[in-house]
Amino acid sequence: MTQTIERQGWELVTDDPKSERDKHKVLRARQRALGRELRRMYDDVAKEPVPEEFIELLRRIDRRGGSGGQHDS
């Protein structure tokens, strides 16, 4: 039986049911690896303190009642 595999983005398309299981294993492994790398890259950023300017901006929005799109004068 000849099997054709086409690559379409993140998916591998096949007609073989056994290959479907293999495809899902590969996709899960890629997702886990991507998640690990994203956590590694952004872990330090998430631990940084929020800048005071941003906190003050949020306070001003709260005092206005959260009405978006209006300028603070």
pLDDT at 55 over 90: yes
User: Does 12 map to a domain?
Assistant: no
Q: Who has greater pLDDT, 41 or 15?
A: 41
How far, CA to CA in Å, does 29 sit from each of 32, 33, 47, 58, 64? Answer: 5, 6, 27, 39, 47
The pTM of the full predicted model, rounded to 2 decimals, is 0.42
User: Does 55 map to a domain?
Assistant: yes
Please give the Cα distance from 64 to 59 (Å, whole number): 9
In sequence order, the β-bridge partners of residue 7 are: 12
Please give the Cα distance from 6 to 13 (Å, whole number): 5
User: Does 52 map to a domain?
Assistant: yes
> What is the domain count for the chain?
1
Please give the Cα distance from 39 to 14 (Å, whole number): 32
User: Does 15 map to a domain?
Assistant: no
pLDDT at 1: 47
User: Does 34 map to a domain?
Assistant: no
User: Does 48 map to a domain?
Assistant: yes
Q: Which domain holds residue 57?
A: 42-66
pLDDT at 73 over 60: no
Compute the average pLDDT of residues 27-56: 93
